[in-house]
Amino acid sequence: MAALDISRLTPKERLDLIGELWDSLSAADVRLSPAQEVELDRRLATFDADRREAIPWEDIDAELDRRSR
């Protein structure tokens, strides 16, 4: 495989490359540590709980509109 001189890439091109590399990995390629799994589970649980109390963006936008008048 030929070496790629990434220093010649623009920041956007480098970010695109990072995305392509990440997308090329399967879930089996990216293992979480036990601590990361616990944290992910905690965040998913709070996400589900918080979703019930979420305010739709349209309501927030309308409220901001009212306040700016």
At residue 48, does pLDDT exceed 90?
no
Structure-model confidence comparison of residues 67 and 52, the more confident one: 67
Supply the mean pLDDT for the chain.
92
Confidence of residue 52 (pLDDT cuts 50, 70, 90): confident
Helix extents (H) in the chain:
11-23, 34-51, 57-67
Structure-model confidence comparison of residues 11 and 1, the more confident one: 11
- Predicted TM-score of the model (pTM): 0.47
Is-contact 7 18, C-beta < 8 A? no
3-state DSSP assignment of residue 26: coil
Q: How far apart are CA 41 and CA 31, in angstroms?
A: 15
pLDDT tens-digit readout, 29-40? 999 999 999 999
